[in-house]
């Protein structure tokens, strides 16, 4: 397994919060790799207390749950800029900013959303996506989406907010790598599913009893089919 270590240091600029935190993410190197930095990509990593947002070469922005509000940190080249937002939920702060950041005229190469891989995150993912939907704007344009999620409910909370005309590739990965069954009865009704050209489903399996006509329009399919 590869470990990606992100170190955030709240230094002497804010002595009251002078501590070091480590966020460690593990992933299987055999799985679909994250896109290379030169791409016009957005990467969002969600944990219980922190949301990290990165748009290609722009500064990484971190939203951290803290006491009765949140801390927003913009990691500039000369050092972090922090803003304390009292009585503001860190998920809501991120969601509102995200839709402001997203240029509806721009077409992304990749949109990557990763929920951290622990069982408690499955319940939190539903809470996160409910707030995400509340502030959603017109469909975001991306050619490729890579989603590390827990279930079909997560997927149908995200895909409808992507422009179906721009979307070409859908990559779905089970966040806990459990190789569990993925229900697709609602997914296959979405325009985003029907119009995409490539589909990759990893660490999930799909029941062989599904209607295979729902896959025939794809030019490329990588799916583990299993009988139940």
Segment 165-191, tens digit of pLDDT:
999 999 999 999 999 999 999 999 999
Residue 160 placed within a domain: yes
The pLDDT, as a whole number, for residue 21 is 38
The pLDDT, as a whole number, for residue 177 is 94
pLDDT digits (tens, 9 = 90+) for 114-124: 999 788 899 99
What is the span of the domain harbouring residue 48?
2-28+40-226
Residue 33 placed within a domain: no
Residue 44 placed within a domain: yes
* Closest of 23, 45, 46 to residue 34, by C-alpha: 45
Write out the two tokens for 72.
Answer: 């927003």
The pLDDT, as a whole number, for residue 136 is 81
The pLDDT, as a whole number, for residue 77 is 80
What global pTM score does this model have?
0.81
pLDDT lower than 50: segments of the chain: 1-27, 29-30, 35-37
The pLDDT, as a whole number, for residue 32 is 53
The pLDDT, as a whole number, for residue 103 is 67
Domain count of the fold of the chain = 1
Residue 35 placed within a domain: no
The pLDDT, as a whole number, for residue 100 is 82
CB of 194 within 8 A of CB of 159?
A: no
Residue 78 placed within a domain: yes
Residue 34 placed within a domain: no
* Closest of 181, 130, 177 to residue 158, by C-alpha: 130
The pLDDT, as a whole number, for residue 13 is 34
């Amino acid at each position: 397994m590869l470990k990606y270590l992100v170190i955030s240091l709240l230094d002497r600029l804010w002595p009251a919060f002078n501590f070091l935190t480590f966020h460690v993410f593990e992933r299987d190197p055999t799985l679909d790799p994250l896109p290379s930095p030169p791409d016009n990509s957005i990467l969002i990593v969600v944990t219980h207390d922190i949301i990290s947002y990165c748009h290609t070469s722009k500064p990484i922005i971190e939203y951290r749950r803290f006491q009765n509000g949140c801390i927003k940190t913009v990691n500039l080249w000369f050092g972090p800029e922090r803003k304390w937002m009292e009585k503001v939920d860190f998920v809501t702060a991120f969601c509102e900013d995200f839709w402001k950041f997203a240029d509806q005229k721009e077409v992304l190469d990749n949109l990557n959303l990763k929920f951290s891989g622990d069982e408690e995150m499955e319940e939190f993912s539903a809470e996160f996506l409910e707030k995400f939907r509340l502030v959603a704007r017109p469909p975001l344009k991306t050619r490729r989406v890579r989603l590390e999620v827990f279930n079909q409910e997560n997927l149908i909370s995200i895909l409808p907010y992507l422009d179906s005309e721009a979307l070409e590739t859908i990559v779905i990965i089970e966040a806990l790598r459990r190789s569990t069954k993925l229900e697709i009865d609602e997914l296959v009704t979405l325009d985003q599913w029907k119009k995409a050209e490539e589909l990759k489903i990893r660490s999930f399996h799909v029941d062989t009893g599904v209607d295979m006509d729902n896959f025939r329009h794809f030019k490329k399919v990588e799916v583990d089919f299993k009988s139940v």
